[in-house]
Structure 1
Amino acid sequence: MTSTIHTHSLTWQVSPDLLGIVNQAGIFIETNPAWETVLGWTEPEIRSMVFTDFLHPDDMDRTLALFTTMKAGEPALHFENRYRCKDGSYRWLSWVAVPEGDIFVCSARDVTGDKANVRALQSSEDEAKLREQFIAILGHDLRNPLASIGSAVRIASRQPHDEKIAAMFSAIDGSAERMAKLIDSIMDFARARLGAGIPVDLKPTADLREGFERVVDEIRIAHPDRKFKTNFEFEGALLCDAARLDQLLSNLVANAVTHGSQDEPITVITDRADASFVLSVGNSGKKIPDHAIPKLFEPFERTEEGASLQGLGLGLYIADQIARAHSGELTVTSTDDRTVFTLTIPLERKS
């Protein structure tokens, strides 16, 4: 018994999917025009071949196994294999085939492009993950030799030496400290980019003032020509990682030193607003261009062309990641005469 199939219907003629009728011998006795469009074979050529003539060798066994189950009355749903084009190339097809009497009614969609996109995306993700893992491993393995250098310098500096040697020891120690900070930034960047986020140890902290004052004092000592104004109004406990907030503040103040006006003070303020802890760092100076603000917290971004390349451009990115790890938000407003970065952390977390 053979089912009646309307092979001359409009749907049969214009469908972009490959439509066909296969007999028990595995020959496509009817095909629509999409076969020639996708694979290049004409209907008479297809009728002279068995479906196995089209198959990629690697797909032969599993396709024959499927055909056996179809003969037993089982349909094929979303079965994928590769069919040979007339030019010798192969296209990935996704099949739906249903037994009807002594024939099989089939449709196939060309999914070659989808396969290529998935492979490209997977390859891109694998490469990105490998790069970031390499950065993490490199940063970790640099710590030990750097610690040895610092220890050797400190021991050697205790021995008798003249002022010239003392200056050299001081320069080496300063360079080692800067390298350690760069490694810390690399490690934080790698953790954030690998999906785990920057780790935080959240604890109720009653007083952030001491740590914040220490951060500002350290930067003040390093930049004696700059002025700083602080106003720590926030009182009460905050669930946070105090060391990470110190790091965030350090990054924001360092950014203000780099880009702010040397004639006006940098302000550091903490306060409570709308049931939130608020930390703001402001500086006078050139406005951040509007086009730069959306990318300001992305890694390796700088707000000005020709800005110093001594850092990695990770400071604001890491500060933003620390804010996110605290369920907070880091924002920026910039006008013609003032730029302010504001951290907001809710005092009560949503469960």
Structure 2
Amino acid sequence: MSDDPTLKQIDRDKLFALSVDMLVVANFSGTFDQVNPAWMRTFGWSEAELLKVTWRELVHPDDLRATREAGKRLFAGQAAVQFENRLQCKDGGWRWVSWNAFPVIAEQKIYAVVRDITAQKAAEAQQRELQDHQRQLTERLRESQKLEALGTLAAGIAHDFSNILATVLGNAALALDDLGPGHPAAARLQQINQAGHRAGELVRQVLAFGKNFAPELRPLALRGLVEQALERLSATLPAGVGLQLVLADEPFAALADAAQLHHVLDQLWRNAVQAFDGEPGRLELGLERWDRRTKLDAFADALPEGPYARLWLRDSGRGMDGATLQRIFEPFFTTRQAGRGSGLGLSAVHGIVSAHGGLVQVESLPGQGTTVHLLLPLTDKVSVQAAPERCTTEAGRTPRHVLYVDDDETVMTLMLALLERQGLRATGHRDPDAALDAVRAAPGGFDLVITDFNMPARNGLDLAADLVRIRADLPVVILSGYVSDRVRADAEKLGVRRVVSKGGSVDELNGLVRRLLDDLAS
């Protein structure tokens, strides 16, 4: 009975009908001769509908080429061919299937077992997505660790480096004052002064993206800041490059650190000028109130609700490709020639603007220029302007007495000379304990204390806390190589008047001292 061909046919038909996998007999022309019920269950087509179409009509367009290649191997007589593709369902969807196909050349037929692998493909896609996400998290963690390590290194060297800069800039200022503007050496001293400020900018760049340089936020009229920056920067505009200003007349203000925003504008201006490569072109500097109805809607999700100012700088220079654009905020990445740039500029810009609660976005295309957008949160507080500095002592009046504390003797000697040059009486101590003893001996004998933050015996905050216990109303200013949010917050709790970055402008420090002393007199 086992040799009865009728029974064999019955067994085959029964197996064909009951198989969980899809079974198919197709001819070399591409049409289906026979399909089992699993096809109808999987794709929703009826048997009659499937027998009227060719496989080409069901295969996803993106899989046609690979499917044709598999067919060529079958027609060439390869014993078995395995491949995958997507086939269309009756409802318009697509399902992934895996083919095990066997050719019978004599019959011009193809016999195939087809398995639905849609769930497997979805699982694989999800696994890839999870792996990509994990890879991104790992990269972000690695980048964060790099920045943290660099920030720690920056914080470690900032104190000593800022002392050196303070010494260079302070002595240059004293020498310029001694010689006068007409002296032959004045120009060289000015160059020393400029070089020292550039070195200070480099330190601030490192500290900015290392998050060790907290901004001192005050209400600031943005248009006034932009106009001040233009007075300085317009002189560096190359010949053949035109400048267009689009500045809103609206007097809006932001909580900002003027010095840091000036640094941001300086950096963006330098980048824009260098993008021209000596060729003629056009720069556009703009400032306007920004809301979510502007063309920057795509950036809105990255910012909290509230009013913002948009400051932009657009150049018609060489522009950047997509690969470069993705890396512009990476520390030490630069498109300039070796020795022409540190790669810290835009990293610092990003760090500073982020510390202001804002956002930086860059649009660029090769040969079509670059636009940098800065979005800064606005405030309804009244914008304040710096009070005019009064740097002379009234005739017949006893000079104000300033106590300066710094473990670096060179810096202390310099600062005492600068304070005395301003008509003030200045006393210096390298030892914080000695400074405390001096205040204990004469609590009313000092009008202001200026102290370094990093000192071996105790830091500036510890000294301020002890000074408060001796005389609560004695103004204290702390100088620090790096000004972190934590240092500023702790200082505010103690009643410290200001925390100032070391290595800055001598005029800025003189102005601060004079304003604090003038406030006491008013």
Q: TM-score, normalised by structure 2?
A: 0.38
Out of 268, 271, 284, the residue aligned to residue 252 of structure 1 is 268
The 8 Å contact of residues 143 and 180 in structure 1, kept in 2 or not, is answered as yes
Amino acid at match of 2:261: L
State the Cα distance separating 1:156 from its structure 2 match. Answer: 2.6
Q: Which residue in 2 is equivalent to 1:187?
A: 207
Q: Which residue in 1 is equivalent to 2:346?
A: 316
Amino acid at match of 1:268: L
The 8 Å contact of residues 245 and 285 in structure 2, kept in 1 or not, is answered as yes
User: How far apart, CA to CA, are the structure 2 residues paired with 1:123 and 1:230?
Assistant: 41
State the Cα distance separating 1:239 from its structure 2 match. Answer: 3.6
The 8 Å contact of residues 332 and 342 in structure 2, kept in 1 or not, is answered as yes
Out of 373, 376, 379, the residue aligned to residue 345 of structure 1 is 376
State the Cα distance separating 1:128 from its structure 2 match. Answer: 6.6
Q: Which residue in 2 is equivalent to 1:79?
A: none
Please say if 1:155 is aligned against 2:186.
no
Classify the secondary structure of the residue corresponding to 2:372. Answer: strand
> Measured at CA, do residues 296 and 125 of structure 1 come closer, stay the same or move farther in structure 2, by a change above 3 Å?
closer
State the Cα distance separating 1:140 from its structure 2 match. Answer: 2.4
State the Cα distance separating 1:247 from its structure 2 match. Answer: 2.7
The 8 Å contact of residues 270 and 279 in structure 1, kept in 2 or not, is answered as yes
The 8 Å contact of residues 153 and 172 in structure 1, kept in 2 or not, is answered as yes
Amino acid at match of 1:151: G
Please say if 1:228 is aligned against 2:243.
yes
> Measured at CA, do residues 123 and 199 of structure 1 come closer, stay the same or move farther in structure 2, by a change above 3 Å?
closer
State the Cα distance separating 1:301 from its structure 2 match. Answer: 1.4
State the Cα distance separating 1:277 from its structure 2 match. Answer: 1.5
Classify the secondary structure of the residue corresponding to 2:281. Answer: coil
Alignment of 1:15-164 (within 5 A): 129-157=148-176, 158-159=178-179
The 8 Å contact of residues 238 and 347 in structure 1, kept in 2 or not, is answered as yes
User: How far apart, CA to CA, are the structure 1 residues paired with 2:347 and 2:146?
Assistant: 21
Q: Provide Cα deviations, 1:302-339, integer angstroms capped at 9, x if missing partner.
A: 2x252x63442222112122222233221111132221
Q: Which residue in 2 is equivalent to 1:174?
A: 194
State the Cα distance separating 1:348 from its structure 2 match. Answer: 8.3
Q: Which residue in 2 is equivalent to 1:293?
A: 325
State the Cα distance separating 1:340 from its structure 2 match. Answer: 0.6
State the Cα distance separating 1:345 from its structure 2 match. Answer: 3.4
> Measured at CA, do residues 141 and 297 of structure 1 come closer, stay the same or move farther in structure 2, by a change above 3 Å?
same
Q: Which residue in 2 is equivalent to 1:265?
A: 282
User: How far apart, CA to CA, are the structure 2 residues paired with 1:216 and 1:250?
Assistant: 10
The 8 Å contact of residues 216 and 253 in structure 1, kept in 2 or not, is answered as no
Q: Provide Cα deviations, 1:272-301, integer angstroms capped at 9, x if missing partner.
A: 232532111011111202111111111111
State the Cα distance separating 1:258 from its structure 2 match. Answer: 2.0
> Measured at CA, do residues 286 and 273 of structure 1 come closer, stay the same or move farther in structure 2, by a change above 3 Å?
same
State the Cα distance separating 1:125 from its structure 2 match. Answer: 8.2
User: How far apart, CA to CA, are the structure 1 residues paired with 2:288 and 2:142?
Assistant: 47
Amino acid at match of 2:231: D
Amino acid at match of 2:179: Q
Classify the secondary structure of the residue corresponding to 1:191. Answer: coil
Please say if 1:219 is aligned against 2:249.
no
Number of equivalenced pairs: 221
> Measured at CA, do residues 248 and 125 of structure 1 come closer, stay the same or move farther in structure 2, by a change above 3 Å?
closer
Query: What's the RMSD between the two structures over aligned residues?
Result: 3.4
Amino acid at match of 2:214: P
Amino acid at match of 1:272: R
User: How far apart, CA to CA, are the structure 2 residues paired with 1:165 and 1:237?
Assistant: 44
Q: Which residue in 2 is equivalent to 1:10?
A: none
Q: Which residue in 1 is equivalent to 2:129?
A: none
Classify the secondary structure of the residue corresponding to 1:174. Answer: helix
The 8 Å contact of residues 215 and 257 in structure 2, kept in 1 or not, is answered as no
Out of 207, 215, 227, the residue aligned to residue 200 of structure 1 is 215
> Which sections of structure 2, spanning at least 5 residues, go unmatched?
1-140, 292-306, 381-522
The 8 Å contact of residues 275 and 319 in structure 2, kept in 1 or not, is answered as no
User: How far apart, CA to CA, are the structure 2 residues paired with 1:348 and 1:160?
Assistant: 43
> Measured at CA, do residues 223 and 174 of structure 1 come closer, stay the same or move farther in structure 2, by a change above 3 Å?
farther
Classify the secondary structure of the residue corresponding to 2:179. Answer: coil
Query: Percent identity of the aligned residues?
Result: 23
User: How far apart, CA to CA, are the structure 2 residues paired with 1:265 and 1:218?
Assistant: 18
The 8 Å contact of residues 233 and 271 in structure 1, kept in 2 or not, is answered as yes
Q: Provide Cα deviations, 1:91-129, integer angstroms capped at 9, x if missing partner.
A: xxxxxxxxxxxxxxxxxxxxxxxxxxxxxxx99988874
The 8 Å contact of residues 204 and 238 in structure 1, kept in 2 or not, is answered as yes
> Measured at CA, do residues 149 and 132 of structure 1 come closer, stay the same or move farther in structure 2, by a change above 3 Å?
same
Which structure: larger Rg?
A: 2
Q: Structure 1 stretch 333-342 or stretch 254-263: which is displaced more?
A: 254-263
User: How far apart, CA to CA, are the structure 2 residues paired with 1:214 and 1:309?
Assistant: 30
Q: Provide Cα deviations, 1:125-179, integer angstroms capped at 9, x if missing partner.
A: 8887454322212122211222222222233333379875344323222211211
Q: Which residue in 2 is equivalent to 1:6?
A: none
User: How far apart, CA to CA, are the structure 2 residues paired with 1:127 and 1:339?
Assistant: 28
Q: TM-score, normalised by structure 1?
A: 0.54
Please say if 1:283 is aligned against 2:303.
no
